Amino acid sequence: MVIVDTSIWIAFFNRQGSQEKVEVDCLLDKEEAMVVGPILTELIQGTRSEKELRIIKDALSVLPYVEMTKATWELTGGIGLELRRKGFTVATVDLMIAALAQEYGCAVYTLDSDFQRIPHLRLYTPTTY
């Protein structure tokens, strides 16, 4: 399974001919795309209209979804601590996504370079490029 990050969903919804759209369509066809709460939150808060909100909610409602557990929260903090000790600060939302990916054995498909700093995180490599 692949957690599709906010940066990819933005391209998916806004750039019809983009390589990200093509890649997400492939993941959707193979039923390999999933969503997590932090990404859902970012997408909803970024909507500009009720129509856009409905489109996003409808599109993501059919995807597999996993919740944060106490273990996930602890892992989130541990990843952040490890990075801070190395001199890096990564947004808590990104740490949450990384922890969920690690806990559930998923890759993360993203355009955000901060994810490259996160140890033990498997990043998704597009196959259609």
pTM of the predicted model as reported, rounded to 2 decimal places: 0.93
Residue 128 predicted with pLDDT over 70: no
**Cα–Cα nearest to 108, from 45, 58, 36, 22:** 36
**Cα–Cα nearest to 9, from 48, 39, 53:** 39
Q: Provide mean pLDDT across the span 73-89.
A: 97
pLDDT tens digits for range 23-71: 999 999 999 999 999 999 999 999 999 999 999 999 999 999 999 999 9
Which domains does the chain show, CATH number per domain?
2-117 (3.40.50.1010)
Across the chain, mean pLDDT equals 95
pLDDT of 127 reads 84
Provide the CB-side half-sphere exposure for 31 (13 A, CA): 2
What are the tokens at 4? 């599709």
